[in-house]
Amino acid sequence: MIYKTLNNNVKMPQLGFGVYQTPIDETKRAVLDAIEVGYRSFDTAQAYGNEAGVGEAIKESVLPREEFFITTKIWISNAGYEKAKASIEESLQKLQTDYIDLLLIHQPFGDYYGTYRAMEGAYKAGKVRAIGVSNFSPDRFIDLQHFVEIKPAVNQIETHVFQQQKETKKYLEKYKCQIESWGPFAEGRNDFFNTPLLKEIGEKYGKSVAQVALRFLIQSDVVVIPKSARKERMQENFNVFDFELTEEEMKGIEGLDQASSLFHDHQDPETAERYMSLLD
């Protein structure tokens, strides 16, 4: 495994395992399978409803807690200082751990300044090793990081070969914030798994489209958290450190970038209204 050193010197595995949309009753089994494959970094969220499954699997494993890197995220219904503070304690209980390795604000809506203050408090109390954000566009990220005491260590955003976040990445690098990808396979959109260039490169190395896509992101200094319920896919996604893309291949894949979301634009008013409706 290779690691990225965050802005507070905490080391984060560059390849992890995500449990977004993993059914609650399947999460424990999926995480235990992933641990057996070799994953040590696990990404969950309050909104996923499966933090407890992640915690149960890690507790059941024979490995010590410090072998793992656990990420969770505060949902917008828990935004604001008091609600966020209480939700952090609840997440710790569900995860059955004394500390969270990385805690993120899930969405850039609601009182996320209050949420961030609660996260800073948890960080100072030793309950969190690193804090950051998710889905923050450069303008909101710059505004937030300018006014907080503990600078965001990570911004987890939609990142894949069709949305490479080149502009966002420039600003995150400027402010020493690690970019992390959600949706590294674009959730199959744009006929992702049949992308001709990725298939051609994969045939050269004896690798799948998914493995080429992950390797591209890893060589682009992006943290990735692919998900799968199938153990053979977990293994496939994990085996991306035994080959390296050439400069020419990297440039070719960079040309696939469409520089726009395949899901939803957080700066779009309709998207903001949809998230605000969750608070009504």
Q: Which tokens is 266 given?
A: 């957080």
Q: Is 106 annotated as a binding residue?
A: yes
Is residue 20 part of the annotated active site? The answer reads no
**Catalytic annotation, pick one of 39, 48, 112, 171:** 48
Q: Distance (Å, rounded) from C-alpha 167 to C-alpha 174?
A: 11
- Enzyme catalytic residues: 48
Residue stretches of the annotated binding site: 106
Residue set of the binding site for substrate: 106
